[in-house]
Structure 1
């Protein structure tokens, strides 16, 4: 299913947990029944005039009041920076928004969001120090030991004549 609506790209917000985009539907497009059918589904958003720029998002909600219909989407975390930059340059303007149902299920979307946001595991001690559970993490003691060990500063530079520059 796919629907095209005239909308005002109202805002884009991003924090450490999620990225949201919000549109206000304009004119008679707010009465399209397809909008209700896509709510709470994974969709692909594109804006007319931006070729090859698409964002995968969860259609979080559609809210209507006497003045407008608001569409909110949570953007999938691994969207490329270039695509989101091009998309968000349109914020604050009127656009033709294409909303297409994705093949991805809502459960797959949430799993990918969890994987994208997965960080380094560890614990914070009462004294404020952090113990990281990542086995590949280098400790400050290992760095200090390497520095005191008089390790070589690296391979010699070409034309190493001993001058500082």
Structure 2
């Protein structure tokens, strides 16, 4: 399914994980039933006269007495220098083409999904009520082990700011 609508490229916002692009539908195009059918799916956005298209998640469509607002989420690593022409149209009236994508929401979100728990390197353990920590990995060095290594000719770790060389 593919539709063309007259819209105003209202805004573009970006944070570390995702980017949001928002359009206000103009005229009778807001009555097109295809808009509702494609909501909450992955779509390809193209602006007439711009070579670069964007693959986005059509996150929501809201309608009030004055306007219909379409919001699309672009993955944080998707935008680049080649999409510059697309974003130059922000703040202007455009002819927007919205086409269904073969990609699923899960494929689009990938590891950027907010529900996805990211595995991180670091110390694993349990914090006791007294503030001490019991490490899961018994081979993990503690600060006491490192300090003891310094006493035995290992690397010296300063115990206060006076020991720092600068």
Describe the SS at the equivalent of 1:16.
coil
**Cα contact 2:7–2:23 (8 A) shared by 1:** yes
| Structure 1 Cα separation of the partners of residues 112 and 88 of structure 2 | 24
Q: TM-score, normalising length from structure 1?
A: 0.68
Which residue number in structure 2 is paired with residue 16 of structure 1? 16
Which residue number in structure 2 is paired with residue 88 of structure 1? 87
The CA deviation at 1:71 is 0.1
Which residue number in structure 2 is paired with residue 149 of structure 1? none
Which residue number in structure 1 is paired with residue 30 of structure 2? 30
Which residue number in structure 2 is paired with residue 49 of structure 1? 49
Q: TM-score, normalising length from structure 2?
A: 0.67
Q: Root-mean-square deviation (CA), in Å?
A: 2.5
Higher Cα radius of gyration: 2
Seen in structure 2, the aligned counterparts of structure 1 residues 80 and 61 have a Cα distance that, compared at 3 Å, is closer
**Cα contact 1:54–1:83 (8 A) shared by 2:** no
User: Are 2:109 and 1:72 equivalent residues in the alignment?
Assistant: no
Describe the SS at the equivalent of 2:77.
coil
The CA deviation at 1:119 is 8.3
The CA deviation at 1:80 is 4.5
| Structure 1 Cα separation of the partners of residues 120 and 66 of structure 2 | 46
Aligned length: 124
Long gaps (5+) in structure 2: 124-154, 156-166
Long gaps (5+) in structure 1: 125-144, 146-165
Describe the SS at the equivalent of 2:35.
helix
